[in-house]
Amino acid sequence: MNDLRQLRHFVALVDHGHFSRAAEALHLSQPALTRSIQSLESALGCTLINRHGRGISLTAQGQLVEQHARRLLLSSRALKEAVRQIDNLEAGQLRVGAGPFPAARLVPEALARLIKAYPRLAVAVTVGDWSSLRDRLLDERIELFISDIRELETDAALEIMPLPVHQGVLFCRPGHPLLRQQRIRFSDLAGYPLAGTQLPEPVAQSVLSDTGREMLSIQCDNFLLLKTMTEQSDAVCMAPRDVVQKDFDSGELMELTLLSERLSHHSAYGLVSRRGHRLSPAGEAFQAQVQEAAASCSSAMRNGIA
């Protein structure tokens, strides 16, 4: 193989599952695509695909080659982007990930700062849990991400930069029945759905210790969905204070203050990248903006300004 063209053709064939559709997407004739795949198989000395009347399937070797081909193509694209960004960061692309809570406040603020400085920078953000974001990072589909790091701290493949910690809080809608009580205990929460995002194991244990519940009634990694649902129901939701303080200040949500008790869990945000891999200029700029936004948010919380 003299270049990556054959790998691009192979991945396109896998994605489309049919020679004619893949050839059309690649703007090639079907015979040209067939020759390219045959040349790749010849170079590797194996059969990569099984041809069927209605499409194709991968051999065991084909499955292995697909994994490596995708990584190589992503690395090639990342290299081109990094070279372009050396002279002009605005000409580049940035692919990052965010956990549900960082995506609700920290990442939007960091991105706002970033695109103000580089308005032509193309940015793609994937929101998900720490596990899926880790997989995307190691597959080079994203360059770095911000999420809860408690399940990731011992992972030797990752470089982790912890960010400021925020206390966990319980909140509900204005007019919630619990707000009529003068004294609220954890035991009073038993009559209402408890909502939150997917919990890292240490947090799940602390929630069990605090509330006696082994699992959440409602679990979702879209925090906007959780917040809107809480505003329109009697559910009680858990989140780090930084993502709901503005809603407390505006009166759109109400904090549930427990009698002589508080949630033992807290945020554990961190910037996560691949160990031993230097960030692109856009990645470095985004990382700096996240750190600046995190420091600003932490300072505002200490001073009572959301």
Contact present, 265 and 168 (Cβ < 8 Å): yes
In this predicted structure, which of 39-53, 82-96, 167-181, 224-238 has the lowest mean pLDDT?
Answer: 82-96
Confirm if 224 and 218 have CB atoms less than 8 A apart. Answer: no
152 CB-contact burial (10 Å; exposed 0-12 / middle 13-18 / buried 19+) = buried
207-254 confidence digits (pLDDT tens): 666 666 666 789 898 999 999 999 999 999 989 999 999 999 999 999
Q: Tell me the CATH class for 5-70.
A: mainly alpha
Say if residues 17 and 36 touch (Cβ distance below 8 Å).
Answer: no
Q: Establish whether domains 88-164+268-302 and 168-255 are of one fold.
A: yes
Q: Which residue has the tokens 């190589």?
A: 72
40 vs 55: CA distance, rounded Å: 19
DSSP string, 213-268: -SS-SEE-S-HHHHHHHHHTSS-EEEEEGGGTHHHHHHTSSEE---TT-----B--
Q: Which fold has domain 168-255?
A: D-Maltodextrin-Binding Protein; domain 2 (3.40.190)
Could you tell me which residue, 112 or 72, shows the higher pLDDT?
A: 112
What pLDDT does residue 73 have? 83
Domain positions in the chain: 5-70, 88-164+268-302, 168-255
Beta pairing class for 93-98 and 144-148:
parallel
pLDDT tens for each residue of 128-186: 999 999 999 998 899 999 999 988 999 999 999 999 998 889 999 999 999 998 888 88
Q: Which amino acid is at 22?
A: A
Candidates 100, 98, 132; CA nearest to 225 is 100
Pick among 3.30.930.10, 3.40.50.360, 3.40.190.10, 3.30.2010.10: CATH of 88-164+268-302: 3.40.190.10
Q: How much is the pTM?
A: 0.68
Radius of gyration of the chain measured on its C-alpha atoms:
24
